[in-house]
Chain A
Amino acid sequence: MNVLAVLAAIRPDSWNFPLLVHVFGAMVLVGGLVTASSALAFAKGDRKLLRLGYWSLLAVAFPGWIVMRIGAQWIYTKERWDELPEGFDEPGWLGIGYLTADLGGLILLISLVAGGVGVYRMKQGKGAGLLKVTLVLSLVLLAAYLIAVWAMSGKPD
């Protein structure tokens, strides 16, 4: 039996719900990013699709990020990673998770602001450039979160 299987077998039941919150939030976040990216990519200037893409980011991906981040902190505390003795480093997969969650959150906020201004400017026939920025940032985030999912599930170290 490898280490992961042992860990899975001994994971206390009390960790399951925080893990569910973390995973569910992350899944909604990724789903929102896929939806927003596809709507923005296929819009080709169509206002309704551009708006749908932006609102997918705001109303699906962003709440997903919040739930994912709350779940992450909850399971982090439950697993007592915050009580590591001095001289012990956190595993690399945890670092990847933290980096993508927090830096990704900042990039998500920037893309939301850019997209929001872009959607507002659409009324004057402008804003296409800003929504392209939102699309590019969404794709970058999607790639980063897929790497994070790989790291958190495969646990390379």
Chain B
Amino acid sequence: MSFDDWVLALHVLSAFSLVAGIVLFWVMVVAVRRIDTPADTLRLGPMAKVGNATVGAGMGGTILFGVWLAFSYGGYDIWDGWILAALVLWFVGAGLGQRTGKAYMEGPRKAQELEAAGQTGPNPELLAINRTQTGLLMHTLTSLVVLAIILDMIWKPGA
């Protein structure tokens, strides 16, 4: 395996890490819609940390190794349309992902407030926050953007 082959493998592994994190957050998005107690909300915290780590490693790895490959691989150039499209989509996805995280952090924040106030039972306001429509929309859009990047990487339009 050449050095570029290793970088390509790491680029693809990063993409898997990114999608794994998105899948994990989808499971959490569905699970949290039925959660109305502070303890159950906070119990998902360690899982969210795994999701953040995999998405972070995935986003960092895909851009770093991807840009390296664009410069290093013969036949491809950083200014190729499909590579530029991927870069733009990556930044759009990063922005949407940040908004998703912001929306879903409201639940744990409210849960901590409720626990501090000694309210441990079911809470309709917490349930409503956990069912955030903004977060759901942002996560759907993030997923669609990542899917568009995968399509772009496979089809390589214009290459």
Cα distance A153–B156 in the bound complex, in angstroms: 16
Name the residue of chain B whose CB is nearest to the CB of A145. Answer: B16
Cα distance A26–B21 in the bound complex, in angstroms: 14
Select the stretch in B23-31, B93-101, B111-119 that faces chain A: B23-31
Docked-complex contact A1 and B1, CB < 8 angstroms: no
Per the CB 8 Å criterion, the residue count for chain B at the interface is 38
Cβ of B106 under 8 Å from chain A = no
Cβ of A20 under 8 Å from chain B = yes
- Give chain B's interface secondary structure class: helix
Cβ of A107 under 8 Å from chain B = no
Docked-complex contact B43 and A49, CB < 8 angstroms: yes
Cβ of A113 under 8 Å from chain B = no
Docked-complex contact B24 and A34, CB < 8 angstroms: yes
Cβ of A117 under 8 Å from chain B = no
Cα distance A2–B73 in the bound complex, in angstroms: 8
Cα distance A48–B74 in the bound complex, in angstroms: 51
Name the residue of chain A whose CB is nearest to the CB of B18. Answer: A27
Also in contact, A46 and B23, with CB within 8 A (given A149-B16, A154-B5): no
Docked-complex contact A34 and B2, CB < 8 angstroms: no
- Give chain A's interface secondary structure class: helix
Contact of A42 among B27, B47, B73 (CB under 8 A): B47
Instruction: Please provide the chain B residues from 8 to 66 with a CB less than 8 Å away from any CB of chain A in the complex.
Output: 8-9, 11-13, 15-16, 19-24, 27, 31, 40, 43-44, 46-47, 50-51, 54
B73 CB contacts on chain A under 8 angstroms: 1-2, 5
Docked-complex contact B150 and A156, CB < 8 angstroms: no
Least distance between A144 CB and chain B CB atoms (Å):
13
Also in contact, A5 and B16, with CB within 8 A (given A46-B43, A150-B9): no
Cβ of B6 under 8 Å from chain A = yes
Docked-complex contact B12 and A153, CB < 8 angstroms: yes
> Could you give, for residues 95-138 of chain B, a 1 whenever the CB lies within 8 Å of some chain A CB and a 0 otherwise?
00000000000000000000000000000000000000000000
Least distance between A82 CB and chain B CB atoms (Å):
22
Residues in chain B within 8 A of chain A (CB atoms): 1-2, 4-6, 8-9, 11-13, 15-16, 19-24, 27, 31, 40, 43-44, 46-47, 50-51, 54, 73-76, 150-151, 154-156, 159
